[in-house]
Structure 1
Amino acid sequence: MKTKKNLFPKLQSKIDALNFDTISPTRKKELQPLINYVAEHHDKTAQINFICTHNSRRSQFGQVWAQVAADYYDVKAACFSSGTEVTACNERTIASLIRFGFEIEKEGIENPLYKLKYGFEPTLISVFSKRFDHPKNPKTNFAAVMTCAHADENCPYIPGAELRIPIRYMDPKLFDDSLEEEARYDERSLQIATEMFYVFSNI
């Protein structure tokens, strides 16, 4: 894999260990529409909005890892996340990203704004829970990536989306407050990281 010298060492080691062979042929077919979309739009900055119901776990992982992957491979992309309801970016999601090597600052309490740093240059991703029609999200010319079955099935129309792409993930929330909690959040984070790096490596 390409070396991105400005990444934090722990995060770089996680990226170096990603294995695209863990992605099944069937799953690669599901990822292909996103590859095609980015390839067709990256000359003018591809916009991608990752959407799940509460914008607290899977969609946040999607936004973060897709943006890091885009930067890693020097692909012009702006990645966002949102939900059909506003809650908060789950603290377990943030804890997993810290374990992967991100440095994070928190602002606010009820629906905190998290600022994620992943390198020594001014590399910054801001995440918080918001609806898909929030002013921070693109209004037109974007792909809507549906990361959960509930949002995919119950929100059939995303205004302004050029393309709707279902890329569903199992919800780590199922393991909250269990002995498997950390492992399952890290498992989902790793899966999404692997798939997003696979996507952007193919641009």
Structure 2
Amino acid sequence: MNLKLLQTIEFLKNYKISAERKLMLHPLIDCIQDHIQNEKAIDIVFICTHNSRRSHLAQVWAQAMSFYYNIHIVDCYSGGTGDTAVYPKIIETLSEQGFGIQKITDTNNPVYAIKYDKNSHPVIAFSKKYDDEFNPANGFIAVMTCSEADGGYPFIAGADLRISLPFEDPKISDGTREQDQIYNDRSLQIGAEMRYVFSQINTK
């Protein structure tokens, strides 16, 4: 993995996750563990309203952590209840934390290749609806990363399991002096929680 990213992951090991959040994470842990024991591929779709911030952070960190813990049957995706564009501060934040970023298309909804390891396939990031043809159509784990999507979409077609895991929106800091810190903190929180999830998986 990229050296800077490995340093960020080491830092995440000191991140404190509350008992309440751990309870919210355990359905995802249990589902991943069940898939591994039954030798089933694991597709996870992280869903938010606009697929612009939190769902992308969760997708990227989950994919990186599955690789870090040698769980190579995981494919992570993201989507929204609508589509907009990946917010540029998300890309900037991930780059600063050690991910390699390549902008593939320069449009109103850019496509990015986000690499966590030089020899592994990148995460392809762009804003899309959760049922976009780029994402799996069925048999996936749906993880709701914002309260709006969680409350507005109680049923996700094609999902084997729907898990509520909302994060506070870093958008609240846009245009303020605290923006850089808020985006950094939210990414680290999501990274730490995805690290915890995959660190709990028994692959033996």
Report sequence identity in percent. 45
Alignment of 1:129-140 (within 5 A): 129-140=127-138
Give the aligned partner of residue 70 of structure 1. Answer: 66
Alignment of 1:145-160 (within 5 A): 145-160=143-158
Give the aligned partner of residue 13 of structure 1. Answer: 7
Kept after mapping to 1: 8 A contact 2:15/2:192: no
Cα distance change of structure 1 residues 104 and 21 upon mapping to structure 2, 3 Å threshold: closer
User: 2-side partners of 1:104 and 1:189: how far apart?
Assistant: 16
Q: Give CA deviations for 1:94-130 in whole Å, capped at 9, x if unaligned.
A: 1100110111111221101000112221341111000
Once the two structures are TM-superposed, the CA of residue 196 in structure 1 deviates from its matched residue by: 0.3
Alignment of 1:108-147 (within 5 A): 108-147=106-145
The amino acid that maps onto 1:36 is D
Alignment of 1:42-61 (within 5 A): 42=36, 43-61=39-57
The amino acid that maps onto 2:67 is D
TM-score (structure 1 length as normaliser)? 0.94
Structure 2 unaligned segments of length 5 or more: list them: none
User: 1-side partners of 2:128 and 2:150: how far apart?
Assistant: 17
Give the aligned partner of residue 105 of structure 1. Answer: 102
The amino acid that maps onto 2:180 is E
Give the aligned partner of residue 4 of structure 1. Answer: none
The amino acid that maps onto 2:85 is A
TM-score (structure 2 length as normaliser)? 0.94
Give the aligned partner of residue 178 of structure 2. Answer: 180
Q: Give CA deviations for 1:48-100 in whole Å, capped at 9, x if unaligned.
A: 10000000000000100000011111112111000001100110111100110
Q: SS in structure 2 opposite 1:44?
A: coil
Q: Give CA deviations for 1:134-186 in whole Å, capped at 9, x if unaligned.
A: 00111111111000010001112110011110001000000001100010001
- Does 2:23 align with 1:35? no
User: 1-side partners of 2:91 and 2:117: how far apart?
Assistant: 17
**Equivalent pairs, count:** 197
Once the two structures are TM-superposed, the CA of residue 21 in structure 1 deviates from its matched residue by: 5.6
Cα distance change of structure 1 residues 118 and 21 upon mapping to structure 2, 3 Å threshold: closer
Give the aligned partner of residue 76 of structure 2. Answer: 79
- Does 2:19 align with 1:25? yes
Give the aligned partner of residue 96 of structure 1. Answer: 93
Which runs of at least 4 in structure 1 moved beyond 3 Å after TM superposition? none
